[in-house]
Structure formats: C-alpha cells, structure tokens
Amino acid sequence: MYSKEVLEHFKNPRNQGQIDNPDVIGQVGNPVCGDVMKIYLKINQNSKDINKSKIEDIKFETLGCAAAIACSSVVTENTKGKTLEAALKINKDLILKKLGGLPLPKVHCSMLALEGLEKAIKEYLAKH
C-alpha cells in the first residue's frame, strides 16, 4: 500500500516532461522491474567554480510504476535551484522520508531516480 504522499506525486508529478536544449540528459533503467528514466538538466553556470553552478531547470520522463514516478517527482522537486554539489548529496533516506516511506520491494525505485540524477551531473561535469 502506498502512502498519500506517493499517490499525490504519482497523480500530480512535479517537473514531468522534457527540457528543450538541455545541457545534459541522464538515462538509466532497471532491467529487473523494467523501469526507464530520463533526467533532463539545464545548468546555470554563473560561477567559474563548477561546483557552485546551479540546476536552473530539471525535468524527468519515467516509464515505470507509481513508486518510480513519485520518486522522480520528489528528486526533481528537491534538486531544482540547488548547486550540483548539493544535488549529489540528496540520498535515498530523504526521498523515502518525503514520500512517507515505500513498500520494501519498491525502494529500488528511489535509487533509480538518484542514479539518473547522478549520471546526468557526472556527464555534465565530464564535458565541462
């Protein structure tokens, strides 16, 4: 059974969709459950220190279960406006807390959202 927070994020996902001309796209998938996720980032680079650059916009596309969509929504909601450094510190515990928990078999969905974010940031940093 899902919490009311999970159902709210599933029914009304935040930041769902694509960004035109994103700076980077992180795509991940979980072959066990079949979930696939893309995280689109637009980075505001107003500092020479790359770790002070902020995530100006973030969107996601997730093909997956309610938990995967809810986790994607929470990750993007808690990442927008943060520095890349701060975004990389978002962890599974924060996601689970914001969602009021997840059934144990669905906890891997929170990790997929974080993996997509981390992959996008690392790809961005590798380019710059």
- Residues that are catalytic: 33, 109
Please classify residue 99 by burial: count the beta carbons closer than 10 Å to its beta carbon, then call 0-12 exposed, 13-18 middle and 19+ buried: buried
**For residues 67 and 39, what is the distance between their CA atoms, to the nearest angstrom?**
16
Task: Return d(Cα 68, Cα 60) in angstroms, integer.
Answer: 11
Residue with tokens 């986790």: 71
Strands (E), the chain: 24-30, 35-44, 54-63
> If you count them, how many residues does the chain have?
128
**Other CB atoms within 10 A of residue 46 CB:** 9
